[in-house]
């Protein structure tokens, strides 16, 4: 199958922008983040490295990068046990499967769906290829302009609108990035869990887990992995204490995303053994919001009142679980979006005690391979 070229004229980007609505596809919290395989180019074919050498080098040290190798290319031990339980064969592991959607990146290569790597750039930032894919617009700075520095601000606004429309998840979309993590880090397939697979990454927290080995915000200064995302800081020059503010925002939106995803997982769960796992996650996220009330923030303030009355019901199946918890999740998602809209400038300094207590996360595999950071 032919993949459309990735060179696009600036005029084309303008057309896309003018003709389109600005609707952005929203990741469904419990639908694992599977980019359309026809849009996935992969790190090599997309040549992300051409412009993002340090980001690619950082990614290659992570468990995400290794996961395909360890879980999909070797049909043994627990991989075999879980795969057998779901009827996934050794060959199936390398294709689009119930396992590869979380442990790898699947691309349509010459008409066949193949695992091309572990969890990759496009797993988190969206499939990039195709005429209307985000990569074209991402690297097009306007007629005759070769670098981002030469780009006009009007063109940049237009470019961002075009890549957003094409479904790129970028630093400004922190809630969607966090939803995306949860779509893999909370497992909802009860058959898979019954076979022994974990129902979630215990103690997943968006701040700590996107720091440590996963952190790759080198953009403005390639020599350092900055405390706060460098692009976000550059695009928000008026924000005081950008590193602190960014972590506060990530704490709040990460907790919103976990609460939403845990509620949806709880809504769909029927196994009384698994229900307390999701119930515990909901209660845990609600507890964090209770600690955040000191911010006086309008959206945060609504959560304990919404979720509190459900706490006693969370741990055992109920007749209307599906409807009740999905409705609550919708409400939480709405509040998260309202919060995100004003987050850059919100006064969140009351959260510093909480953010300071969060440690960057390094996996056991990372430590074994690269030593204690």
Please state the closest distance from residue 328 (CB atom) to ligand HEC, in A.
21
CB of 229 vs ligand HEC, minimal distance in Å: 4
Instruction: State the minimum distance, in angstroms, from the CB of residue 155 to ligand HEC.
Output: 10
**Collapsed DSSP state (helix, strand, coil) of residue 98:** coil
From residue 147, give the alpha-carbon distance in Å to each of 13, 15, 137, 156: 16, 21, 13, 12
Strand locations in the chain (E): 105-109, 112-117
Cα–Cα distance for residue pair 37/122, rounded to 1 Å: 10
Question: Which CB atom, from 144 or from 312, has the smaller least distance to ligand HEC?
Answer: 144
* Pick 249 or 307: Cβ nearer ligand HEC: 249
CA angle (68 as vertex; 64, 71 as ends), nearest 5: 105
CA distance 207 to 131: 34
Per residue, the 3-state secondary structure of 210-251, as one string, reads HCHHHCCCCCCCCCCCCCCCHHHHHHCCCCCCHHHHHHHHHH
Question: Least distance (Å) from ligand HEC to the CB of residue 29?
Answer: 12
User: Which stretches of the chain bind ligand HEC, using CB under 6 A?
Assistant: 32-33, 43, 46-48, 50-52, 55-56, 59, 63-64, 67, 70-71, 78-79, 82-83, 86, 88, 98-99, 101-103, 119-121, 123-125, 128, 135, 138-139, 148, 170-172, 177, 180-181, 184-185, 187, 189, 192, 197-198, 201, 209-210, 213-214, 216-219, 229-232, 361, 363
Between residues 81 and 323, which has the closer beta carbon with respect to ligand HEC?
A: 81
Q: Which is closer to ligand HEC, CB of 187 or CB of 283?
A: 187
Q: How far is the CB of 198 from ligand HEC (least distance, A)?
A: 5
Of the pair 231, 306, the CB lying nearest ligand HEC is at 231
Quote the DSSP letter at residue 189.
Answer: -
Cross-strand bridge partners of residue 262: none
Residue 268: CB minimum distance to ligand HEC, A: 12
Residue 108 backbone dihedrals phi, psi, to 5 degrees: -85, 110
Is 180 in contact with 124 (CB distance < 8 Å)? yes
Give the residue among 45, 47, 56, 64 at the shortest CA–CA distance from 222. Answer: 56
Whose Cβ is closer to ligand HEC: residue 189's or residue 344's? 189
Minimum CB separation of residue 51 from ligand HEC in Å reads 3
Distance separating alpha carbons of residues 92 and 87, to the nearest angstrom: 9
Bridge partners of residue 200, in order along the sequence = 186
Contact between 38 and 187 under an 8 Å Cβ cutoff? The reply is no
- For 185, residues 6+ apart whose C-beta sits below 8 A from its C-beta are 200, 201, 204
Minimum CB–partner distance for residue 73 and ligand HEC (Å):
11
Comparing CB distances to ligand HEC, the nearer of 72 and 307 is: 72
For the bound state, the minimum distance from the C-beta of residue 211 to ligand HEC, rounded and expressed in Å, comes to 8
Nearer to ligand HEC, 188 or 310 (CB): 188
- Give the Cα separation of 16 and 18 in Å (integer): 6
Q: Which is nearer to ligand HEC, 100 or 310 (CB)?
A: 100
């Amino acid at each position: 199958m032919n993949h459309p070229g990735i060179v696009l004229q600036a005029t084309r980007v303008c057309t896309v922008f003018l003709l389109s609505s600005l609707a952005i596809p929203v990741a469904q919290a419990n639908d694992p983040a599977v980019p359309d395989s026809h849009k996935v180019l992969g790190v090599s074919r997309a040549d992300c490295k051409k412009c993002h050498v340090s980001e690619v080098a950082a990614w290659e040290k992570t468990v995400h990068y290794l996961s395909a190798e360890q879980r999909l290319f070797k049909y043994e031990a627990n991989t075999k046990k879980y795969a057998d339980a779901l009827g996934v064969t050794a060959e199936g592991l390398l294709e689009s499967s119930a396992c590869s959607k979380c442990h790898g990146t699947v691309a349509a290569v010459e008409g066949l769906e193949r695992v091309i790597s572990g969890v990759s750039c496009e797993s988190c930032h969206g499939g990039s290829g195709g005429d209307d894919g985000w990569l074209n617009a991402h690297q097009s700075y306007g007629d005759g302009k070769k670098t981002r520095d030469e780009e006009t601000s009007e063109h940049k606004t237009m470019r961002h609108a075009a890549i957003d429309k094409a479904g790129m998840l970028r630093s400004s979309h922190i809630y969607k990035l966090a939803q995306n993590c949860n779509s893999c880090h909370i497992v909802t397939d009860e058959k898979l869990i019954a076979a022994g697979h974990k129902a979630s990454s215990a103690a997943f927290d968006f701040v700590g887990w996107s720091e440590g080995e996963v952190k790759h915000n080198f953009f403005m200064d390639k020599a350092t992995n900055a405390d706060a995302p460098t692009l976000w800081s550059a695009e928000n020059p008026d924000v005081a204490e950008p590193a602190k503010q960014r972590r506060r925002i990530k704490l709040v939106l990460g907790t919103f995303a976990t609460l939403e995803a845990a509620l949806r997982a709880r809504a769909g769960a029927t196994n009384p053994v698994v229900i307390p796992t999701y119930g515990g996650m909901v209660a845990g996220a609600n507890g964090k919001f209770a600690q955040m009330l000191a911010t006086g923030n309008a959206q945060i303030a609504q959560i304990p009142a919404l979720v509190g009355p459900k706490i006693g019901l969370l741990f055992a199946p109920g007749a209307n679980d599906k409807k009740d918890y999905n409705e609550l999740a919708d409400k939480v998602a709405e509040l998260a979006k309202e919060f995100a809209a004003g987050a850059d400038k919100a006064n969140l300094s009351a959260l510093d005690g909480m953010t300071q207590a969060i440690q960057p996360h390094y996996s056991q595999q990372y430590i074994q391979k690269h030593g204690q950071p």
